[in-house]
Amino acid sequence: MSWLILLLAGLLEIVWAIGLKSTNGFTRLAPSLVNLVATAGSFYLLSVAMRSLPLSTAYVVWVGIGAVDAAIAGLVILPESVTTLKITSLLLIIVGIIGLQLTSPA
């Protein structure tokens, strides 16, 4: 159950990471509110997952989920360049996340 909660926390991190750009420096009310709610929810779910997962695993997986998916969203949604090095780097992060999950308690 902790891994599912951590996954949800990571998904909310994607929402606030992408949403941060649309807040325009927190000058737009609706995107700013969505961003703040997603941030609070993400942190809360991370803290719940950390009740049974080690810090070293939970935090890195949470950051990894957010970083990889936000980067993918930037490549797909925003006009960001796709390079072989960028894709290779994202794949290495994914391999690291999987490795941490495999070495942690259930």
Q: Of 24-28, 38-42, 64-68, where does mean pLDDT reach its minimum?
A: 64-68
Kindly report the pTM of this predicted structure.
0.80
Can you tell me the distance from the alpha carbon of 6 to that of 28, in angstroms, rounded to the nearest whole number?
A: 29
- pLDDT of 26: 93
Residues 6+ apart with CB under 8 A from 99: none
Mean pLDDT for all residues in the chain = 90
Cβ atoms 5, 44 nearer than 8 A = no
Q: In the structure, what pLDDT confidence band is assigned to residue 7 with cuts at 50, 70 and 90?
A: very high
Tell me: the pLDDT tens digits for 51-91?
999 998 899 889 988 888 888 888 888 788 889 998 999 99
